[in-house]
Structure formats: structure tokens, C-alpha cells
Amino acid sequence: MLSVGFSICTTKEVWQRILLATLLRIRSDPRNPCRARSASIDAARVREMKAQGLGATAIAEALGIGRASVYRVLEAGGMAN
């Protein structure tokens, strides 16, 4: 057998290596929407904006968070509609 400097892998092993490399690349991408949030939500700011009369959509857009997060904060603070 001729040695060419690489190991012979089965097709399954090749696909497993490709999948692992792809997942690691995607997880490390800062633009990936599935990454965990690095900063916590400012609950006091959410409640303050709600007290000013802003709706959940406007609050979410201003703070860069989801509407569900706004509703969750408001419900925990006893300010839910």
C-alpha cells in the first residue's frame, strides 16, 4: 500500500468531521442569531419606557431585544396589561 501522508477515513467519519467544523464555525460567528446574549436586559429601563406610554414593540426595537422579553420583564414586575 502506498502512503501519501493522510489517513484513510470512512465516509461517515468525513461527514462527522465536516459537521463538527461547520458547527464550530457557526457557533463562533458573532452575527449568528442563535448565540446567547452577552448582556442582560435592563428591566428598569423597560419599565420606565412602559410608564412613558411606549408599547412593547417600540420598547423592543429601542433596546434591541424581542417583544417576548419585554412582556416577560413587564409581567415579572407586575406591569402586564
Domains and CATH numbers, the chain: 41-81 (1.10.10)
Calculate helix-pair angle for 67-76, 56-63, nearest 10 degrees.
Answer: 110
What tens-digit pLDDT sequence spans the chain (81 residues)?
Answer: 455 556 666 788 888 889 988 888 877 777 766 666 556 788 899 999 999 999 999 999 999 888 999 999 999 877 665
71/67 Cα distance (integer angstroms): 6
Its pTM stands at 0.51
50/70 Cα distance (integer angstroms): 9
Nearest alpha-carbon partner for 37 in 76, 2, 68, 79: 68
